[in-house]
Amino acid sequence: MKYPILSEKSTYTFSDYFKLVDYRDEILEHFGYSFHKKNNELPRFSNELSHLNELKICLERNINYISMINEAAKREFIIAPILMDIIDYTQTKIRVEFPLVVNNQLKGTLDYFLQSKNNLLVIEAKNSDLERGFMQLAVELIAIDKWTDSETPLLYGVVSTGDIWRFGILDRTTASITQDLNLFRVPADLDELLRVLIAILSSDA
């Protein structure tokens, strides 16, 4: 007899799923979604990035002086400056530590929820663990899918350790979640990372 991974009588927060990465496929199937890994064709912003050099210098300085094992420092000195920069390009509304409750199995706090033509979920990978962080990202994307009634077919998310970023896409038409195989490293891939983040928030797709 196969026992369910999640108990219908129990309550789970988003951070609980960080610990359940070994049961990723079963958990996503429980919510009605399939999981895939592949190289995604992420959108790219093609115009000039007018503050790129200033941001890159700032991040290089921050990374040189802060402890990369300090999660609060990574949020404040690496992730936040990048998000503030893309807000300047996109005039996006950003909700920080945004509480979201769908049901007892989908509830918790979203680190950064950016709202524009498209929405974008950004979360920090606790303990710099991208695999576990992506597990949590996937469940939070599912919660957003069930919470919003937008006709947008794709929901984008990204999990970050500060210096490494990985994207995920929830396709609402196929009820599937894809983990992008590519990693964006900061500051080396800052140009490409910004172009993807800006394009997601500026796109009607």
pLDDT at position 66 is 78
- What pLDDT is recorded for position 205? 46
**Domains of the chain: which residue ranges?**
14-202
**Cis status, amide bond into 99, omega within 30 of 0:** no
- In this prediction, residue 117 carries a pLDDT of 80
* Predicted local confidence at residue 168, as pLDDT: 98
Closest by CA position to 69, among listed 184, 186, 171, 162: 162
pLDDT at 1: 40
pLDDT in tens, the chain (205 residues): 455 778 778 899 999 999 999 999 999 999 999 999 999 889 999 999 999 999 999 999 888 887 777 788 888 999 999 999 999 999 999 999 999 999 999 999 999 999 988 899 999 998 889 999 999 999 999 999 999 887 789 999 999 999 999 999 999 999 999 999 999 999 999 999 999 999 999 875 4
* Predicted pLDDT at 116: 87
Rounded Cα gap, residues 69 and 22, in angstroms: 24
**Residue-level pLDDT at 2:** 54
How much is the CA Rg of the chain, to the nearest whole Å?
Answer: 17
**Whole-angstrom Cα distance, residue 195 to residue 136?**
24
CA–CA separation, 88 and 115 (whole Å): 13
Spatial distance between the Cα atoms of 79 and 59, rounded to a whole number of angstroms: 9
